[in-house]
Amino acid sequence: MGTVAAPNPVADASPSTMARLAGVLYLLIIVGALFIPFAVPAPSGMMRPNAALPAADQVLASRSHRLFGGIAQLAILTCDLCVALLLYELLKPVGRNLSLLAAFFRVVFVAIAGANVLNQFAPLVLLDRAEYRSAFNPDQLQALSSLFFRLRTIGFDIALVFFGLHCVIVGYLLFKSTFFPRILGVLLAIGGVSYLINIFANVMPTTVRAHLFPWIMLQAGVAEGLLTLWLIIAGVNSSKWRVQASAARTRT
């Protein structure tokens, strides 16, 4: 007797539904990326390697903000996982293996970024626990807390390498698809390359990086913003998606 495959709610959904759901989740990711830094202000020294170290009282005063920021970041990363799955299902007809590879890179990004959130809370543990305050003098505690903040910045830059690879592959799949505008694929691939360039910007002089970073992020931001709007407003050309999906099944 043959076995009946378990239902897959994502795979069984219409392509338009998947596209619009991916667009809404992507919008939440973008809004979170824009507003969390304002809700959880970074202490001085966190983003700029040569800036003054954050004072201990400044770090401890931001305890509730950091808790909120950590929860918000984990919620956004959950949205990232959902988007990875939805884009895999949407782009699977174009190239199953490449679509799976793109999803894998985004999952790796989520894993690194999620683990990196711990660096946001480590300074609070160091500065708030009596055993650490008695083991280290104030200057040492301040330097150690600053180290975790800077490791958080470096960790996120490393995570963006995998996100950039995801964007490059998804951009290629969008370009090769028949159900998305090719320009979206071109722009997203360029945005992905911008994320990859960002990691090399860390070895540049601080003044150069300060001027280069906004332009790097602008390329990626425009690409992801346009893709998000297209997913929400236009969705996907369902008839062309089904034709390409049928052709892919025939080849398989």
Quick: pLDDT tens for 156-200. Answer: 889 999 999 999 999 999 999 999 999 999 999 999 998 888 777
Q: Is the pLDDT of residue 2 over 90?
A: no
Q: At what angle do helices 118-128 and 96-116 cross, to 10 degrees?
A: 10
* Residue 16 pLDDT exceeds 80: yes
Domain-embedded: residue 89: yes
Instruction: Give helix 15-39 / helix 238-251 axis angle, nearest 10°.
Output: 110
Q: Under 8 Å CB-to-CB from 117, ≥6 apart: which residues?
A: 70, 73, 74
Residue 177 located in a structural domain: yes
Nearest to 144 by CA among 211, 229, 56, 49: 56
pLDDT at 132: 67
Looking at residues 130-155, what average pLDDT do you find? 76
User: What value does the mean pLDDT take over residues 221-242?
Assistant: 93
Q: Is 4 part of a structural domain of the chain?
A: no
List, for residues 107-140, the tens digit of each pLDDT value.
999 999 999 988 877 777 777 666 766 677 777 7
Integer Cα distance of 223 and 171 in angstroms: 10
Distance, in Å, from the CA atom of 55 to the CA atom of 67, rounded to the nearest integer, reads 18
- The predicted structure's pLDDT at residue 130: 66
Question: What does the pLDDT read at residue 216?
Answer: 73
The reply to whether 1 falls in a domain is: no
Report if residue 252 sits inside a domain: no
- Could you give the number of structural domains in the chain? 1
The pLDDT mean for the chain works out to 81
CB 204 within 8 A of CB 230: no
The pTM assigned to this predicted structure is 0.81
Lowest mean pLDDT among 58-62, 88-92, 233-237: 58-62
Residue 187 falls inside a structural domain: yes
pLDDT-derived band of residue 54, with 50, 70 and 90 as boundaries?
Answer: low
Is the predicted pLDDT of residue 61 greater than 60, yes or no?
Answer: no
Domain assignment of residue 3, yes or no: no
Domain interval for residue 148: 14-245
pLDDT surpasses 60 at 242? yes
